[in-house]
Amino acid sequence: MIQTEIGTDLKKAKLLLDATEIISIPTETVYGLAANGKNPLAIAKIYVAKKRPLSNPLILHYKDAYSAFQDVTKIPKEAELLAEKFWPGPLTILLPKRKSIPDAVTSGSPRVAIRVPSHELCLSLLNTLDYPIAAPSANLYGRISPTSPAHVHEQLNSRIPYILDGGTCEKGIESTIIGFEDDNVCIYRLGSTSVEAIEACIQKKVHINNKTEGKQKPQASGMVKHHYAPNTAMFSIAEKHKEKDFSNCGFIGFDTLDPDFPGENQFLLSENGNIDTAAKELYRSFHIMDVKKFKSIYIEFMPESGIGSAINDRIKRAIQKYTA
């Protein structure tokens, strides 16, 4: 059995990646499950450890924009503008890939998702490597994304050898994923870079294309119908009228307690109503409330502006598992 170690040893992290192993790494968004992004054998280990469908593509992480753009064949002007504005940072860009990118990264798609993370320790690791890192979130497929080493250990203990400890993630919500279709800029996953900020940068409206229909393969990570879910059944607070007894139910709210639930059964994402704090706390609240083994968890939607739309996207996908 693999013994999963938590530490801050960059040299050890590099040696493991160089040896075709997978490890967990910190980013500013969530913890990633990392492998050599140019090695199909290493990439295959990600899918096995996460129990992730092979049809769900990965994101490649680079040390800088120059390195990232070396692995694509076409760079629209809007992509250059967005990279200049938001890299390093939580924005992923989907572009046509070069043949040097394994199909295992893209699930056979001709486009590859690339980004430059802004987490200092992650960038330090990338600067020691001569390849990009492929890294989805470091959790079992469909489960809660991890924003701390403890969250990773909870789900992947004995499945990976090492967790590189970079503390608690600053953003708490995955990167926004954008791409280009004809003359349109499309968002495939809402994330930590807001729609408003992207539109202000490129001076045009974006199209939201973040759903898959039927058996359609996802174009990017995070597009499947239900995702990010705790083991405890989760429902919108709008459904609480169906509940007769709240004594064994939890509530996750934005900034105000709900009088129907016992005080100790509640988690406020931001007592002072800060939407960025709410984003950072979202997955932590899922982990904490899941451990309490409530009969069910009820959750409030956030204001639909800025990162609030990305938070609401995660809530919708989490509750979809139990309301479908």
**168-202, pLDDT tens digit by residue?**
999 999 999 999 998 899 999 999 999 999 999 99
User: Do 108 and 30 fall into the same domain?
Assistant: yes
Task: Count Cβ atoms below 10 Å from residue 83 Cβ, excluding itself.
Answer: 22
Domain contains 190:
yes
Q: Could you tell me the CA-to-CA distances from 93 to 53, 127, 179, 269 in Å, in that order?
A: 22, 20, 6, 29
User: Do 198 and 249 fall into the same domain?
Assistant: no
Q: What pLDDT is recorded for position 220?
A: 65
By mean pLDDT, which of 153-162, 226-235, 278-287 is the weakest?
226-235
User: Do 115 and 163 fall into the same domain?
Assistant: yes
Residue 268 has pLDDT above 60, yes or no: yes
| Res. 322 pLDDT band, cuts 50 70 90 | confident
Say whether the peptide bond before residue 76 is cis (omega within 30 degrees of 0).
Answer: no
Find the length of the chain.
324
* pTM: predicted TM-score of the whole model, two decimal places: 0.94
Query: Rounded distance, CA 169 to CA 13, Å?
Result: 18
Q: Which of 208, 242, 275 is the last residue of a domain?
A: 208
Residue 212 has pLDDT above 70, yes or no: no
Domain contains 222:
no
Q: What pLDDT is recorded for position 73?
A: 98
Q: What pLDDT is recorded for position 162?
A: 98
Domain range holding 241? 234-323
Domain contains 18:
yes
Residue 5 has pLDDT above 60, yes or no: yes
CATH number, domain at 172?
A: 3.90.870.10
Residue 37 has pLDDT above 90, yes or no: yes
Domain contains 198:
yes
User: Do 116 and 263 fall into the same domain?
Assistant: no
317: helix, coil or strand?
A: helix
User: Do 18 and 156 fall into the same domain?
Assistant: yes
Q: What pLDDT is recorded for position 291?
A: 96
| Res. 225 pLDDT band, cuts 50 70 90 | low
| Res. 269 pLDDT band, cuts 50 70 90 | very high
Q: What pLDDT is recorded for position 142?
A: 86
Q: Could you tell me the CA-to-CA distances from 73 to 96, 109, 292 in Å, in that order?
A: 6, 14, 49
User: Do 13 and 100 fall into the same domain?
Assistant: yes
Q: Is 150 exposed, middle or buried (0-12, 13-18, 19+ CB in 10 A)?
A: middle
User: Do 245 and 163 fall into the same domain?
Assistant: no
User: Do 201 and 268 fall into the same domain?
Assistant: no
User: Do 168 and 69 fall into the same domain?
Assistant: yes
Name residues whose C-beta falls within 8 Å of residue 165's C-beta, 6 or more positions apart in sequence.
6, 7, 8, 26, 149
Beta bridge partners of 7: 164
- The share of the chain scoring above pLDDT 70, in percent, equals 95
CATH number, domain at 296?
A: 3.40.50.11030
Name the domain count of the chain: 2
User: Do 54 and 195 fall into the same domain?
Assistant: yes
Start-to-end CA span in the chain (Å): 37
Cβ atoms of 80 and 180 within 8 Å: the answer is no
Domain contains 223:
no
Domain contains 298:
yes
pLDDT digits (tens, 9 = 90+) for 123-176: 999 999 999 999 999 999 989 999 999 999 999 999 999 999 999 999 999 999
User: Do 135 and 263 fall into the same domain?
Assistant: no
Name residues whose C-beta falls within 8 Å of residue 282's C-beta, 6 or more positions apart in sequence.
172, 173, 269, 311, 314, 315
| Res. 209 pLDDT band, cuts 50 70 90 | confident
Residue 81 has pLDDT above 80, yes or no: yes
Query: Rounded distance, CA 221 to CA 59, Å?
Result: 8
Domain contains 281:
yes
Q: Which of 174, 208, 242 is the last residue of a domain?
A: 208
Domain contains 215:
no
User: Do 200 and 244 fall into the same domain?
Assistant: no
267: helix, coil or strand?
A: strand
